[in-house]
Amino acid sequence: MPHDHHHDHDHRGLGPSSHPCRADQDAPLTEAQRLEIAVRELLVEKGVATAAEIAAQIARMDARTPALGAQVVARAWTDPAFKARLLADGSAACREMGIEVDALKLVAVENTEAEHNVVVCTLCSCYPRNLLGLPPDWYKSRAYRSRTVREPRRVLAEFGLTVPGTTTVRVHDSTADMRYLVVPRRPDAAAGWDEERLAGIVTRDCMIGVAVPSV
Amino acid sequence: MGEPPAVAPRAFDPPYLAPGAAAPRFAPGAVVRVKRGAAPGHMRTPWYLRGRTGRVERVCGHFANPEELAYRRDGEPVLPLYRVRFALADLWGDGDGDTIDAEIFEHWLEPGDAP
């Protein structure tokens, strides 16, 4: 059905699907790409790791998704004792649920009526990957990293989140060994839901703090 | 500059203190200032906080020194790491009552009333 959708491209250079051909990746490798290939090949040649082990580790990281974090938040919403343990030692609380967070040192910060938390890493792109998977591209952008510490309310508004003036915004700059998980407020409309259903409304952006759950 | 922002007392001890390492110099609630120095290479103290005054929100524990780790040294002795809370208004001149918490290693901090 090539023509039943909106077109914002012209019709030159179309591929067999009548969509534009994707540009070939003929640009030279970047310095970082060359370095990665060189180190990886050396590790294999010297027997430090096998190609299969490297592929398995990449697959393991790719398998991490925000669904893990959502399970943790849903548990915190339904079990006050667990929430207390999560706020005291986030990593230990995740392990308690069978979520292996490796060396991750997790600080969970709780949104309340009085406080809204948002996470940024101004130095690079520190992110709780073992709990939320890979960070979104915007999290690594200079605009997000610099503006979130300078004008957090305007940044949040651009994400569609207007924080009331009666609520304090707490920005967390992830500058060293801690990683952060925002525990959003449970929507009133989700009263009586079980953990699995609750986890379904906890998005990645809610756990970074640029959104709040909606029902 | 106003009074550094308040921090809520925590009901639990920091989870990552290393036995035998130097006890943290600052307690939660202490007013601290980030030193104006610069490390010759990798450092994890953001430039925008140099010379700024805040309040210790919590002691995170002991962690290897990133300025050593970055050059393949072992990062020992481990150093106390803090979360320090700053008022946006103190940093930028405006910002309602909003705050920034950042992780700062002890060797970058001095008492808020140091000369």
Q: How far apart are CA B90 and CA B1, in angstroms?
A: 6
CB-based contact A204:A184 (threshold 8 Å): no
- Please report the pLDDT score of residue B60 as a whole number: 95
In degrees and rounded to multiples of 5, residue A120 shows phi and psi of: -150, 160
Is the residue at A21 inside a domain?
A: no
Give, for A205, the enclosing helix (H) or strand (E). Answer: helix A204-208
- Which residues constitute the domain of residue A123? 66-208
Is the residue at A14 inside a domain?
A: no
Please count the structural domains in chain A: 2
- Please report the pLDDT score of residue A118 as a whole number: 98
pLDDT band at B108 (very low <50, low <70, confident <90, very high): very high
Q: Look at residue A82 and tell me whether its pLDDT is greater than 90.
A: yes
A96 and A130, same domain (yes or no): yes
Q: Which residues make Cβ contacts (< 8 Å) with residue A210, sequence separation at least 6? A: A118, A155, A156, A159, A161
Secondary structure E strands in B2-52: 31-34
Is A124 labeled as catalytic in the residue annotation?
yes
Is A206 labeled as catalytic in the residue annotation?
no
A176 and A202, same domain (yes or no): yes
A158 and A100, same domain (yes or no): yes
ipTM, two decimals, is 0.95
CA distance A120 to chain B (A): 10
Q: Look at residue A1 and tell me whether its pLDDT is greater than 50.
A: no
Assigned CATH for B31-111: 2.30.30.50
Signed CA dihedral, A157, A159, A161, A167: sign only? negative
Give chain B positions within 8 Å (CB) of A176.
Answer: 44, 60, 63, 66, 81, 103-105
* Catalytic option among A21, A124, A141, A146: A124
Is the residue at A12 inside a domain?
A: no
A44 and A72, same domain (yes or no): no
A189 and A159, same domain (yes or no): yes
Is the residue at A55 inside a domain?
A: yes
The domain that contains A114 carries what CATH number?
Answer: 3.90.330.10
Structure-token pair, residue A99: 């979520």
Q: Do A175 and B48 touch (CB under 8 A)?
A: no
What are the tens digits of pLDDT across the range B7-55?
Answer: 988 878 788 999 899 999 999 999 999 999 887 888 899 999 999 999 9
A43 and A71, same domain (yes or no): no
Q: Look at residue A4 and tell me whether its pLDDT is greater than 90.
A: no
Question: In terms of pLDDT, which residue wins out, A42 or A12?
Answer: A42
Alpha helices in A4-99 (DSSP H): 31-45, 51-62, 66-78, 80-88, 90-96
A77 and A138, same domain (yes or no): yes
A71 and A150, same domain (yes or no): yes
A48 and A101, same domain (yes or no): no
Interface residues from chain A to B (CB-CB < 8 Å): 88-89, 91-92, 105, 107, 122-123, 149-150, 152-153, 165, 168-178
- Residue bearing tokens 């290393």: B18
CB-based contact B59:B80 (threshold 8 Å): yes
A50 and A150, same domain (yes or no): no
A108 pairs with which residues across the strands? A181
A49 and A155, same domain (yes or no): no
Q: b vs e for A75-113, b when ≥16 Cβ sit within 10 Å of the residue's Cβ? A: bbbeeeebbebbbbbbbebbeeeebebeebbbbbbbbee
Give chain B positions within 8 Å (CB) of A92.
Answer: 15
Q: How far apart are CA A189 and CA A212, in angstroms?
A: 13
- Please report the pLDDT score of residue A189 as a whole number: 96
A151 and A77, same domain (yes or no): yes
**For residue A35, with 0-12 CB atoms within 10 Å meaning exposed, 13-18 middle and 19 or more buried, which class applies?**
exposed
CB-based contact B34:B105 (threshold 8 Å): no
Q: How far apart are CA B43 and CA B50, in angstroms?
A: 12
A181 pairs with which residues across the strands? A108
Is A126 labeled as catalytic in the residue annotation?
yes
Is the residue at A141 inside a domain?
A: yes
Chain A / chain B CB contacts < 8 angstroms:
73
